[in-house]
Amino acid sequence: MKKSFFLFLLIALASCVQNQNESKDNKDQKRWKERASNVEIIRDDFGVPHIYGKSDADAVFGLLYAQCEDDFNRVEQNYIWAIGRLAEVEGETSLYSDLRANLYMTKEEAIENYKNSPKWLQELCVAFADGVNYYLKTHPEVKPKLLTYFEPWMPMYFSEGSIGGDIERVSTSKIKNLYDKTASDELVINDGLIRLKDNEPRGSNGFAISGKLTKSGDAMLLINPHTSFFFRGEVHVVSEEGLNAYGAVTWGQFFVYQGFNEKTGWMHTSTGTDIIDEFEETIVVEDGKTSYKYSDELRPVDSLEVTLNYKSTDSVRQKTFMMYRTHHGPITHTIGEKWVSTALMWSPIKALEQSFTRTKKSNHDEFYNMMDIRTNSSNNTVYADADGTIAYYHGNFIPKRDVSFDYTKPVDGSNPKTDWQGLHDLKDNILVLNPPNGWIQNCNSTPFTSADQYSPKREDYPVYMTSYPENFRGLHAISLLQQAENLTLDTLIELAYDPYLPGAEILIRGLLEASETSSVKSQEAKEAIELLKTWDFSVSVNSVEMTLFHFYVYAYLKSDKIPRTLDNKGNYWFEVFDYMSKASAPEERLEVFQTGLENLTADFGSWKTPWGEFNRYQRNDGEIHQEFDDSKPSLAVGMASGRWGALASFGARRGENTKRQYGVSGNSFVAVVEFGDKVKAKTLLAGGQSSDPNSPHFDDQAQRYADAQFKDVAYYKEDVLKRAVSTYHPGGNIEK
């Protein structure tokens, strides 16, 4: 009798759970369909989705659905990484990237943050999850790697919009060395980067131009992020609640990260502001309790257990860690016997508020109030608007510090004087507003040359507010903007793609000087140097001189001739180029040049190789990590690395068995915007909108990208309809 009763009870409980699941599923599907009926997606002739929703939440739902149509792989990958489940896909090497994510916020804490968000933000987070889940429901052929159901708390991990945000700078190898003594020292640790690894400098270009320098008299903005290729899609998202934003969205996020609306435009560049600090903690263990010293007291170290899954060859395994935190932040590594906590900006609710509300501002006063939230930690912001205002915000989240301590090194966490003393008020941060010269630039260089003679003064600000020195891109931009006048969108594009390379001029002039004082030994080198004497130091597809420069500079960088004593804290690349072009012996320069010539000839059979033969664009599939192949079709590209001062950056690398190099980062999404009675813009993507090789929009912008041939933006509804190729509701049939 008892057995029968318990069996009945188990069946009843199972039935109840099943009914609850079915009820939840029915509620989900009902909500999804209601959202979908409120959303219209119009794809234009380049596949750009123009999403129209009744409410902001409707628009977010449609935005995520459209993103998944274009590249679900990257949407999922970004969240697998962000929420700390990468090891379940990539194995034990990624376990410490996942641990890093949990050190700053566990799943339970993310859920709590979501529940504590304002109601309007919760609605957007639900719409985010619904948009992805409805896509998966209506596309059963799509097989996720891991995430079969997205939750509204997930955006709490991925709130700012940067490629990987500040957390990428926390070493996963050091985390492993502290938290996992059992793992083999030979285990190769995934460093937890969401961006691709290459040698291209990280950052972007942003120009704001006042009406005094434009033909129309209206302000203009250059939006030129340098990111991994195909990392951001181009979108237009509109609602009846005032949202009308166009620009680049990081896959999986529900706000336009770099872009514009009808009245304002915003461009982010990587900042040199010190926003991450390390605190050495004095740990005391007594009676089984772990504490840390703070002034004259002992404070308990917060301990939190987490169990993480990771894929192995035959199964999914688990590993449990005890995580530690102090009031400074999580313990991330050790220095000698000291535990070290790493403090960075971690305020997901405010960061999401700032990221979304940024897209709806109508003038600079509103924009300034939004910036006062102060959670845009890793970025500078270049701004322009329809009122003619141009501005530059250097950093945003800037902790106050006691300048008697050197925060470029770990500081003593037991001394309360080293603590962050809140944040600097926005009015005290570096700000450039409507400078009389009529232009502002930032190319990840110093803010103290951002507006020529009207730039901020270094002595007026704490040293930790900026660390980036001048670079070749910054010098290049300044020289062009000093001469700018009567600019149009087309001439602004020409300026942004100016082919001159200041770094190449410095290096090659040093080589030419060496050839005048020392003997050039080979006939090939003599002929090549004669050709270089006539070079204007510009990059182009047909330039043999550019190829010679490239092989020369890399022969030098791969040699052991550059002194290791160069000051890596200052302007390292200026010092390197100064050595290679001036301080080195003339005989050494000619010797290295000969090596470069021999390398070039070995690869291509002749040193007379045009740049476009070596420097290529290739996209073979929709994979995040491209495998390049010299035998497959590719396009010649007349752009170069930003390292040498190219404003239009083209970071490239060779494939495993290639002689050519292929673009992987740099100019990706680029836009020029003009604010007048009506906003006008032109944009360009690397490749195309879709990651599907079978889509016409997989590579329909590839040749345009190589030729810098921008497309006109359809911003207003009447223009969108003229260029409409398909119109549909999410989940519905596409109307041609």
- The answer to whether the CB of 55 falls within 8 A of the CB of 240 is yes
346-392 pLDDT, tens digit per residue, is 999 999 999 999 999 999 999 999 999 999 998 999 999 999 999 99
Q: What is the mean pLDDT of the chain?
A: 93
What confidence score (pLDDT) does residue 160 get?
78
Report the candidate in 180, 189, 136, 163 with the shortest Cα–Cα distance to residue 81. Answer: 163
Residue 589 buriedness (CB in 10 A; 0-12 / 13-18 / 19+):
buried
CA distance 57 to 241: 10
Q: Give every strand in the sheet of 289-294, ordered side by side.
A: 283-286, 289-294, 297-300
What confidence score (pLDDT) does residue 163 get?
59
Which of residues 164 and 556 earns the better pLDDT score? 556
Under the banding of pLDDT at 50, 70 and 90, the label for residue 161 is low
280 forms beta bridges with 340, 412
242-269 pLDDT, tens digit per residue, is 999 999 999 999 999 999 999 999 999 9
CB neighbour list of residue 141: distance below 8 Å, 6 or more residues apart: none
Per DSSP bridges, beta strands 680-685 and 244-250 are: unpaired
CA distance 254 to 355: 9
CA distance 448 to 365: 24
Report the candidate in 322, 325, 326, 445 with the shortest Cα–Cα distance to residue 382. Answer: 445
What confidence score (pLDDT) does residue 388 get?
98
632-680 pLDDT, tens digit per residue, is 999 999 999 999 999 999 999 999 999 999 999 999 999 999 999 999 9
Task: Give the whole-number percent of the chain exceeding pLDDT 70.
Answer: 93
What is the arithmetic mean of pLDDT over 200-215?
Answer: 90
pLDDT above 60: residue 736: no
Instruction: Work out the end-to-end distance of the chain between its first and last CA atoms, rounded to an integer number of angstroms.
Output: 66
pLDDT above 70: residue 399: yes
Report the candidate in 512, 541, 698, 546 with the shortest Cα–Cα distance to residue 623. Answer: 698
Q: Is the dihedral of CA 208, 214, 218, 222 positive or negative?
A: negative
What confidence score (pLDDT) does residue 91 get?
94
Q: Is the dihedral of CA 402, 408, 412, 413 positive or negative?
A: positive
What confidence score (pLDDT) does residue 408 get?
93
How many C-beta atoms lie closer than 10 Å to residue 240's C-beta? 13
542-577 pLDDT, tens digit per residue, is 999 999 999 999 999 999 999 987 765 567 889 999
Which of residues 189 and 317 earns the better pLDDT score? 317
Q: Cα torsion for 517, 521, 525, 531, to the nearest 10°?
A: 40
Cα radius of gyration (the chain): 27
Under the banding of pLDDT at 50, 70 and 90, the label for residue 732 is confident
How many C-beta atoms lie closer than 10 Å to residue 707's C-beta? 13
What is the arithmetic mean of pLDDT over 115-140?
Answer: 98
495-538 pLDDT, tens digit per residue, is 999 999 999 999 999 999 999 999 998 999 999 999 999 999 99
Report the candidate in 143, 157, 151 with the shortest Cα–Cα distance to residue 73. Answer: 143
pLDDT above 90: residue 184: no
What confidence score (pLDDT) does residue 296 get?
94
Task: Give the whole-number percent of the chain exceeding pLDDT 90.
Answer: 87
CA distance 529 to 228: 35
